[in-house]
Amino acid sequence: MMERMVDETPSWETVTDETVQRWSAPEHTAKQDRSRRRQQEILDAAVIVFARDGIARARIADIATQAAVPLSSLYDYYASKEDLAYALPATRMGAFYAEFLDRARQVHTARERLRLYLWLTADFARRNPDWARVLYLEIWPSIAIKDVSVQRSIDDFARILIALIRDGELEGKWRTKHDPYQSAAIFIGSVNQLLITWLLYRRPRDLMTAVSDLIERLLPLLEPIPPIKPRGKRPRVNVVHRSGV
């Protein structure tokens, strides 16, 4: 039953390509070039202000000042500070998925693609630290998120990871009796915790070495568990008790 379900699962490439297309769709950008540039300027300013002050303490007027746009113009794009915050994951997620898809097509095994996905997650955060602070410290941990686009961005990240895990099952590299959703949760939680610690305390100092070590500890969770060899009976030892003279 599990094998049949795995066979019907879309490939990692199909899932990733659909995700790239979704986050590159016209609905995520303004139609006119000038309007699109202004929108991007506001989003870039919001990343800086939210990363510096946190979403709760940030003021929308400060974002307008950072973007060098009138406050009234900012409200033409976003009705509230929360709407602006929820738009931020999409500002980089499309680029992340596109970069992964391009690089993953150049490797040849499920293990290499899964390793690349986890490694690139950390590397992308390293290259975009302000955006990462907002995503991992402010938005992702929030239990009150009801915005559809934010939920979709987080769900898409997990969907690709699950597709990569199942890809390894199809290759016969990993066991099929484990729960791929549970494995994805372990991987996401482990990498996220490493990123959160790095964003808060800049520990570990060498983020990429640390995430590489972490990945090598995580991947064996997917591999078959070697059977436990039954222990043979220990030879009986006759103990001779000697009485004292």
**pLDDT tens readout for residues 218-233:** 999 998 766 666 665 5
Rounded distance between C-alpha atoms, residue 94 and residue 234, angstroms: 62
What is residue 29's predicted lDDT score, i.e. its pLDDT?
46
More confident residue, 87 or 122: 122
Collapse the DSSP code of 56 into the 3-class scheme (helix H, G, I; strand E, B; otherwise coil) and give the result.
coil
User: In this structure, which topology does domain 10-222 adopt according to CATH?
Assistant: Tetracycline Repressor; domain 2 (1.10.357)
Q: What pLDDT band is residue 209 in, cutting at 50, 70 and 90?
A: very high
- DSSP 8-state assignment for residue 137: I
More confident residue, 141 or 200: 200
**Candidate from 79-83, 98-102, 123-127, 187-191 with smallest mean pLDDT:** 79-83
Both structure tokens of 5: 């379900």
pLDDT higher than 80, residue 85? yes
What is residue 8's predicted lDDT score, i.e. its pLDDT?
59
Report the percentage of the chain scoring pLDDT > 70. Answer: 82
Which residues are CB-contacts of 30 (< 8 A; sequence separation ≥ 6)?
36, 38, 39, 77
Identify whether the C-beta of residue 111 lies closer than 8 Å to the C-beta of residue 173: yes
- State CA 214 to chain mean position distance: 14
Identify whether the C-beta of residue 14 lies closer than 8 Å to the C-beta of residue 156: no
What is residue 201's predicted lDDT score, i.e. its pLDDT?
96
pLDDT higher than 80, residue 242? no
pLDDT higher than 80, residue 144? no
> Mean of the per-residue pLDDT values for the chain?
86
> Hey, how many other C-beta atoms are within 10 angstroms of the C-beta on 231?
6
